[in-house]
Structure formats: structure tokens, C-alpha cells
Structure 1
């Protein structure tokens, strides 16, 4: 058996229900085994043969996602000669059940995926982005929002978890206003999706949907935009780039410069020089 090479793990304190692994160019063969958590494979290169207990073998190929339930016996190996690259998300069943409750509006049994493989490019892209955010140490609100969004799609499309009928009808505008005010008052603070949902009186899933529907932005993107606007005012009033970054809530000057360039189209120095 060849060893598993080029593997990295991330455990993020902002996402205690999730562990992420990245495996590059591996020929490792996994024997029959199972997990007490959900195992989600995001295939980047090649194809893996997933043999199951009492199931016909199935291949998950590049651009697809493998969905493995807790306790489900499976094995894994490259389907063809050569190596494969993929990312794994190991998800706590309690957290998965909570997302399902947010999505359908009621508590119930832990969700179960009836199919091994999800040929879903949109889901693949969302999970791939989530893995990158975790690996790069992105802000908590951005990671949590990406996780809720990706897993909501996964459960709705592939886990037979149906979304609830719209609740609190007529209160959406008030909820969005409350979230905007909450974010504006906390430019220099870390804000979680749980905080925002509790403040708005909506589930995390429903809050993400109505906020983006009304503003065109996620709460994290909206918060970042407000921080950039604040930093622009500080720079024009004579603050140094490092002070503007800190006072506007950015963790460091590099993070500030990258975000400023993304939203303004220029670096802070270029903005001041023009």
C-alpha cells in the first residue's frame, strides 16, 4: 500500500463542526472503513473508485462531490493508473442536523444522502471555495456564511431536505435593516452569522437568502464594503494606511490592501496619490 502523501489538515476554531483536508497527487488505497461523521469529498483531479458495503462501486470524478453518511462503509482508490487530488470535509452530524433545521424550519432526524455522487458543478465550486477560506484563515463571518450556503444547497438538492415556506412575511426589510445597523456599529469587531441571525430573528439560512436578495451582497461583503468606506474617509482625513486599516477593522495591512484593491480597484497608496 502506497502512503498518503501531500496531505494537509485544517481545524478552524470559527467552525468547530468542520475539519478540512487537502490531498494532492495521491495514489493511496483506503480499505473498507466508516466514520462517525459525514465525509464529503470534493474531487479536483482524476477519479476515485468508491466501493461500498452492499453497493455497487461508483466513481467520483473531477468536478464532482462524493457524499458519505455517518456509519456508511466505503473504500477508496484511484480509478485509473495515476494519482488523484481532492479535498475532504469532515462534518459533525449535530452541525449538519442544525443546518437541516435552519433549512426546513423544523427539527428532525439527521439528514441522509441517498446517492454516493453529486455531479453538481455549483456545489463543487461552493465547497471548493469554503475549503480555500478555511485554509487561508478568512474572517469568521465569511467562512460561516460560505459553509451554511454550501451545505444548504447540498441538503436541499442531494439530501431531500426541503426548504420551509417563507416565514415572518413582511419582516424581511426590518431584519435586513437591523443587520445593516448591527454591522455598521461593529466595523472593528468580529461578527458571527449566529449573532446576525439572532439579532434579526431569522434562521441563518433565511437571513443569508433575504439579505442577499435585498442588498445583492452577503453580510460579510456588505461589512467589508462599510469598512472600506470608513477607511477611505480616514485616509482622506490624514490617517496613515496602517492606522486606517486598524481603525476600520482589518486584521492587518496586507488584508486591508487586498480588500481595498478588490473593492476600489486601486491600492490605498494609489487612492491617496490620485
Structure 2
């Protein structure tokens, strides 16, 4: 099976590429290195000062995750590759067309649009969502949204077929992530990411075995909620830090019960 990966140029995505390549040799990789275009305002400067003084655990957790994966996976697999600023532009499209992939895997990029969505792939275009669809969708980070909104039971991952929406495609596999209550925020992020990588590999195995190729319509499970990056501000970050500290201080696995949530299961060894 010829696999093309379209992923963000970050250590956690590099780890994913290496893990997949170890079991399913990749044909090519497109990485996206996005340039920051945020305008600097006095309000943003003020918020950044507050974050560094009182909310530093958020950035430390995410950068700690990157450091963790960077040390374990210093390089991408040695396959044909191209790095682009925008995966929806022509250089990425022309590169992808030449691969003639059977499966395309997307993770950690901006929203994929046409013509990339129209790329021919025998099995389809798979999206990795580090959130539990349809319950929690969007960005910038669904694990943080779960904690900030006091919904740790929704921490999880989803593998789906991509569509034009935000994390809204038909689900191939989904699962919650077990949190003991003894972790810090960085531990939680690493656990979620490792779980997402493993779920993705199991989904590839299932697709290769012709299991659940059609996927499950999210509307048949629940309505859920989509969070947007523009909504993620200082107030939400304060809630994240406060709620995480409160929840983890209890150190009680029952705080993370997820009974009653419907997930989509697969048997990769079938």
C-alpha cells in the first residue's frame, strides 16, 4: 500500500511518521511549515506577560512534548519529501499527484481544501484528530479544551475520513484516553499523542484488512461541539490551569470516568 503523509513540520508529527513507517513503509511525506501572521497588539502583549508569569505550565507542557519526541525521533523517515508553507497550494498538490497513493494521512496541518481534497487515493484521505469526535472538535488543542471546560471524560482521539468540515468526517476509529489523575499537563499531552499514533496505526491495519472502510457518520452518534482557535484566550487558559490543578490534585481515576460515551472500535488483528 502506497502511503502519502501530509503533516505539520513538528516533532510529534515526525514521531508519527516514523512509527507508521516502521510498520507500513511510507512512499512520501509533505510537511507544512506555517509562518506566523499574527498582529502584535498591546492586549496580546499584556496577555503574553500574564501567561508567562502565571500560566507558564501550558507552554511548558507543549514544548516539553516536542522535546520528548525530538529526542526520540530526530529525523523524518528517509523517503521523498517536500516542505511547504501551505499544503493547499500548487507545489504540494503537484508533488502529491506524482505519488499516486493508495492512502493519504493528514495530521497537524491547516484545514485541507480543494484541490488537495480531490487527490485520487485508492482508499481515501485519513485525518488524525487528537480529540474525541463528535463530542469535542476544533482547535487549537482539544485536550486543553476538555480540561478548560471541565470535561476530562472527553479526552480522546479519532481517526476519520476527511471531508470539507472541521473534524467532521466519517469515523474509522475512536477511543478515550485513560488518565489516572497522577499526571501533570505534559504527561497528559504525551499520553494523548502516543494514543493517537497507536490508534492511527491500528486504523491503517484495519483499512488494509478491509475493515470499517466506509466509516461511521458522526451525526448517528451525537451532535457534539466545535471549538475555535479564535475563542481560545486568556480566560480559557486560566480555566485550563485551575481545572487541571484541581482535577489532578484529587488523584482519583473516577474523576475521568467516560462511561456512556459511544466510540467506534476496530480489530486491527482480524
TM-score class, shorter: under 0.3
The structure richer in strand per residue is 1
> With structure 2 as the length reference, what TM-score do the two structures score?
0.25
The higher radius of gyration belongs to 1
